Amino acid sequence: MILRIFMVVFSALTSIICNAQTPGNKGFKVDKPNTVFADSGRIFGIVIGVSAYESLPGLKYADIDAEYFYNYLKSAVKASDSRNISLFLNKRANRDIVTEKLYAISDSVKKGDKVFIYFGGHGDIEHITQTDNCLLLLGDAPAKNYLRKSASYLDINLFRDFFSTWSAKEVKTFFICDACHSGKLSGGDVGRKNTLLSLQQSWKNEVNMLSCQPDELSLEGDQWGGGRGLFSYFLIAGLQGLADKNKDSLVTLFEVQNYVRDSVTIHSEQSQIPVFNGDIKSVVGKYTKYMFTEAKISLKPNTFSIINDQAGLAFKGNEEADIERTIRDSSKRVAFRQFMKYLKQKNLTGSNSQNAMAVFLTFPDNEEFRIAKGYMKLQLLAALQSDFDTLTEYLYNDNYDKFDFTRRYEIEKYMKAALKITGKNHPLYKKIKSGELFLVSCNALPEIQTGVVITNQIKDKLLAGIDTLKKAVLLNPIAPFLHLRLGDFYLYSGRFSEAIDAYTIYTQLLPNDEYAYNKLGMAYYLSGNANSAVPFFRKALSINPAFYKAQENLSIAVKAK
């Protein structure tokens, strides 16, 4: 009874200060330039929100919440810091682009700076025994076997590599995650739980703010702010000053966790309790009277606007027009437009100056062109790698020999070009280099396919290919296609126990892939162990009963038992 009375009183109070919002207006009114974090280093931010999923259940408000948080950060930083905050929504959120932004931040941050990473969307772990890593899923993530598409997820260990580097520089990191909205993903309830357990792990100088406990769902609905995620709705209000209990204009982790936990717990009727980890004395942010006023009137419709960023540009996923406006040199603006034209034509490399790579290289590495060249680099890297996932899809579907032979060599050429852009210290280097090594090994053996006679010359090539693929695996151990092809090369070499080991890792990375279990069954069968092969063929058929290769292999293996 006491709890019910408290809930009624709390709801009445919050209805006064948290009236309905409309998702159409997501900025914060600022009447004069802010210097909120002026005495605490610079602020950097990457904000990601994905509601529109191609193959997974869609979310209503994850992208809206992300935009609100982006605009909160923009309202809270010095004008000179505004360029350091990036927003990626839905299709604009891509693994390689986010990685490049992380790299740029890592290059820039110094002692005393703060970095905010915000993600709103689905999270999952597909392999239920894994708890040290998890995947934050992007818009084109497949319904299962997430690792098949290398740019469709962000694994938490990617972030942690950067977090540890920043910590060594005495940079404070704030990782905010509103994930696990559903238990209907490939990993199920166990995958959702393990995702949140993984997200709770933290580094020194890192603060984690998670929307819910491992056994809970993150709620969103029209009843909060006219359409918001419950966690994000109260988090932003708290950071704008409503969490500040001692009225010192500082919001500490202790204050914001108490405010958000109480608010979310009550409004979810105790079905969602946020998780906060880190130094409770950490100052998450400061706020101005303008922000506090906005929080009190709960961001009423049509009472605020996107910030007028006079000292910089608000890059929402780095739109082309925004980038062009940063180029003062008229000849370079023409060159930038030509670069974009070459990209659209897929005219990427060549021996003359009339291609995207050649134009890109004409832009000098200096402050004047830093933003433009960074954007061009991202776009060119994405274009150079765009066909790679298509190629590996043929491999996963056991049709690699049917992929156009000349395109294989073209993609290898593009991957080599991409490596020239990144350099060895770039965070994308290992991923791209592993892909290039994969293509080198495969393109050296174009004759390899089922039924081919293995000559001594082919055996030598297989041995060299195995060594190359093992180097690639060291660079990118969670790439399923590398373990798959390594298993193939072992299989063709007659090294069956090693093929079984490689295919076993392959099945662990893609635990819902019928082709993976079929490969593992074949390795056991060819090693002379038909009894062990049968369960894997049956597992493949349990995933896809119409999978004719597994049907045939099961029949053969059963007869051989």
Domain assignments of the chain as residue spans, ordered by start? 24-317, 321-385, 388-510
Determine the Cα–Cα distance for residues 504 and 483; give it in Å rounded to an integer. Answer: 9
The CA angle 81-86-92, to the nearest 5 degrees, is 165
Contact 375, 402 (CB under 8 A): no
**How much is the pLDDT for 181?**
59
Class of domain 388-510: mainly alpha
110 Cβ partners below 8 Å, 6+ apart? 41, 42, 169, 171
DSSP letter for 500, please.
H
**pLDDT of res. 109:** 92
* CB-based contact 317:87 (threshold 8 Å): yes
The token pair at 65 is: 């919440």
Helix axis angle, 480-492 relative to 429-443, nearest 10°?
A: 30
Q: Which ranges of 368-444 would DSSP assign to H, the alpha helix? A: 370-385, 388-396, 405-422, 429-443
- In the block, which residue shows the tokens 């009423």? 300
Query: Which amino acid belongs to residue 216?
Result: E
Q: Which residues have CB under 8 Å from 368's CB, separation 6+?
A: 328, 329
**Pair type for strands 135-137 and 122-124:** antiparallel
DSSP H helices, 289-396, are: 289-296, 320-325, 330-345, 356-361, 370-385, 388-396
**How far, in Å, CA of 26 to CA of 304, rounded?**
8
pLDDT at 355: 95
Mean pLDDT, consecutive 10-residue stretches, the chain (561 aa), reads 35 35 43 44 92 90 92 83 89 88 90 93 70 78 88 85 88 87 53 50 72 79 82 89 87 91 86 86 84 66 30 42 85 94 94 93 89 86 90 92 90 94 85 95 78 79 95 94 96 95 95 95 95 96 95 93 75
Q: Could you tell me which CATH number the domain at 24-317 has?
A: 3.40.50.1460
Residue 468: predicted pLDDT: 97
DSSP 327: -
Rounded distance, CA 527 to CA 137, Å?
38
**Neighbour tally for 551: CB within 10 Å:** 16
User: Residue 424, exposed/middle/buried by CB under 10 A (0-12, 13-18, 19+)?
Assistant: exposed
Q: What is the pTM of this model?
A: 0.76
Distance (Å, whole) CA 482 – CA 462 = 14
Longest dimension (CA), the chain: 83
Q: How far apart are CA 376 and CA 426, in angstroms?
A: 16
3-state secondary structure of 56: coil
Residues 6+ apart with CB under 8 A from 339: 356, 359, 360, 376
